[in-house]
């Protein structure tokens, strides 16, 4: 049985003090957790401070992005070595906001996934269609392109997590129905089987897009939904811990 993950993406929110306070409450609220995995992704400025708070807890730290080189003249970028030094074990790659606002391509997503794995970071690879793409009936074509592009040249999936985030559901209050989400998760699973064979059965596929403590129970009941990548609801401890409390 795959071990569930609930990951909170704080995006461009929270000062260092606010991040520390939230991390402390999440740490306290998840003490003794044994059957799943909790991850938080603070802004870069708060990574070290959050690490200090979460030391000794079961909560892992993710970065929200990274560059695909270890060092160099890349003003404004953060390398995977820096992320590991700051205490990260996961990194979110290819989030739709990165693709939209910063014009990340399938090629750069792939380079980041490869570099993360080579550095010992576990990539949470985001894929998902826009509302226009869903309305055109090309959801599977879009997701197929994104999954294949992200994983091109990668032989093993041991440390890879996939997050299906329909763009039309991110921050909108809309959420895919459990059957809608499961359809795409099942498609991703079958695609991974086609590429990697039986190893695909162990890959965790998360759902993201307006996840709350009120809708997570029905989502997680689906066969191929292994957890959630949570945005807005992860910024309040009660909302985030409420989601975690509903996990099996």
Catalytic residue IDs: 95, 165
Q: Is 224 exposed, middle or buried (0-12, 13-18, 19+ CB in 10 A)?
A: buried
187, 176 in Cβ contact below 8 A? no
Query: Cβ neighbours of residue 194 under 8 Å, at least 6 residues apart?
Result: none
Query: Cβ neighbours of residue 18 under 8 Å, at least 6 residues apart?
Result: none
C-alpha torsion angle, residues 142, 62, 36, 30 (rounded to 10)? -140
> Which tokens is 214 given?
């009120």
Could you list the beta-strand ranges (E) of the chain.
4-9, 36-41, 59-63, 90-93, 122-127, 161-164, 204-208, 227-230
Can you name the residues that pair with 125 across neighbouring β-strands? 93, 162
């Amino acid at each position: 049985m795959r071990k569930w993950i609930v990951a909170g993406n704080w995006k461009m929110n929270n000062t260092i003090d606010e991040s520390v306070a939230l991390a402390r409450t999440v740490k306290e609220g998840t003490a003794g957790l044994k059957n799943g995995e909790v991850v938080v992704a603070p802004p870069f400025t708060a990574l070290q401070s959050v690490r200090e708070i979460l030391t000794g807890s079961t909560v892992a730290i993710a970065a929200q992005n990274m560059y695909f080189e270890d060092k160099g003249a890349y003003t404004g970028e953060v390398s995977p070595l820096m992320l590991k030094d700051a205490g990260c074990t996961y990194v979110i790659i290819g989030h739709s906001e990165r693709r939209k606002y910063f014009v990340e391509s399938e090629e750069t997503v792939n380079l980041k996934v490869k570099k993360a794995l080579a550095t010992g970071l576990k990539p949470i690879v985001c894929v998902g269609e826009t509302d226009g793409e869903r309305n055109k009936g090309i959801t599977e074509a879009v997701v197929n392109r994104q999954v294949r592009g992200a994983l091109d040249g990668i032989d093993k999936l041991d440390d890879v997590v996939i997050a299906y985030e329909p763009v039309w559901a991110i921050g909108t209050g809309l959420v895919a129905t459990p059957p809608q989400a499961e359809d795409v998760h099942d498609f991703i699973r079958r695609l991974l089987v086609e590429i990697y064979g039986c190893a695909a059965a162990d890959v965790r596929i998360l759902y993201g897009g307006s996840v709350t403590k009120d809708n997570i129970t029905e989502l997680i009941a689906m066969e191929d939904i292994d957890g959630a990548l949570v945005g807005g609801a992860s910024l309040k401890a009660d909302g985030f811990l409420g989601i975690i409390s509903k996990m099996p």
